[in-house]
Copies of this chain bind each other. A is one copy, B any other.
Amino acid sequence: MKFNIALLAGDGIGPEVTEQAIKALDAIADVYDHTFKFTKALVGACAIDATGNPLPDDTIELCKASDAVLFGAIGHPKYDNDPSAKVRPEQGLLKLRKSLGLFCNIRPVKAYERLIENSPLKKEIISGTDISIYRELTGGIYFGDKHLSEDGQVASDGCSYSVAEITRIAHLAFKEAQNRRKKLTLVDKANVLETSRLWRKTVTEIAKEYDDVELDFLFVDNAAMQMILNPSQFDVILTENLFGDIISDEASVIGGSIGLLASASVGSTVGMFEPIHGSFPQATGKNIANPLASILSAAMMLRHLDLHKEADAIENAVEKSLELGITTGDINPKKAFTTTKVGDFIADYITHPD
Interface residues of A (CB under 8 A from B): 119-122, 125, 141-142, 144, 146-148, 152-164, 189, 192-195, 197-198, 220-222, 224-225, 227-229, 242, 245-247, 249-250, 252-254
Contacts and interface: CB of A to CB of B under 8 A. Distances in A.
A194 B253 contact: no
B159 A159 contact: yes
A160, A222, A247: most-surrounded residue (chain B CB, <10 A): A160
Count of identical protomers in the assembly: 2
Contacts of A141: 141, 157, 159, 192-193
B197 A155 contact: yes
B157 A159 contact: yes
A178 B58 CA distance: 55
A194 B155 contact: yes
B249 A194 contact: no
A contacts with B: majority SS: helix
Contacts of A144: 156
Contact of A195 (B155, B189, B197, B253): B155
A205 to B, nearest CB: 11
B193 A157 contact: yes
Contacts of A154: 160-163, 198
A302 to B, nearest CB: 28
A163 B156 contact: no
Contact of A153 (B120, B162, B192): B162
Contacts of A156: 144, 158-161, 194-195
A224 B253 CA distance: 9
A284 to B, nearest CB: 22
Contacts of A193: 141-142, 146, 157
Contacts of A161: 154-156
A194 B152 CA distance: 11
A118 to B, nearest CB: 10
A193 B155 CA distance: 9
B224 A148 contact: no
A162 B225 CA distance: 30
26 contacts: A122-B122, A141-B157, A141-B159, A146-B194, A148-B194, A148-B197, A152-B163, A153-B163, A153-B164, A154-B160, A154-B162, A154-B163, A155-B160, A155-B197, A155-B198, A156-B159, A156-B160, A156-B194, A157-B158, A157-B160, A159-B159, A220-B245, A224-B224, A225-B250, A225-B253, A228-B253
